[in-house]
């Protein structure tokens, strides 16, 4: 499985296919590596990112909560 981490499209470039091109290039790379699945994520409160993923054919499979603490 290939995983696309941290992709972001500047607000003025949204809606012009930029994100789709990034995802398509990453998918092509993943296929060339022999991957048969492709994954990405979006923050729970990131509605724009969630909708972008759905528009590009991703299916939501779960929610992950991340934690941190100062040392």
Per-residue three-class SS string for 2-60:
EEECCCCCCHHHCCCCHHHHHHHHHHHHHHHCCCCCEEECCCCCCHHHHHHHHHCCCCC
Higher pLDDT, 66 or 48: 48
User: The pTM is what?
Assistant: 0.84
Identify any residues that bridge with 37 across adjacent strands, giving them in sequence order. Answer: none
Q: What is the pLDDT of residue 1?
A: 96
**Per-residue model confidence as pLDDT tens digits over 37-50:** 999 999 899 999 99
Fold of 2-55: Aminopeptidase (3.40.630)
Question: Model confidence at 19, in pLDDT bands (50, 70, 90)?
Answer: very high
- pLDDT tops 90 at residue 71: yes
């Amino acid at each position: 499985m290939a995983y696309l981490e941290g992709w972001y499209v500047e607000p003025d470039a949204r809606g012009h296919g930029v994100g789709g091109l990034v995802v398509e290039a990453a998918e092509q790379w993943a296929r060339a590596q022999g991957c048969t699945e492709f994954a990405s994520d979006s923050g729970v409160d990131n509605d724009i990112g969630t909708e972008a993923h759905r528009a590009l054919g991703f299916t939501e499979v779960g929610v992950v909560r991340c934690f941190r603490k100062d040392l």
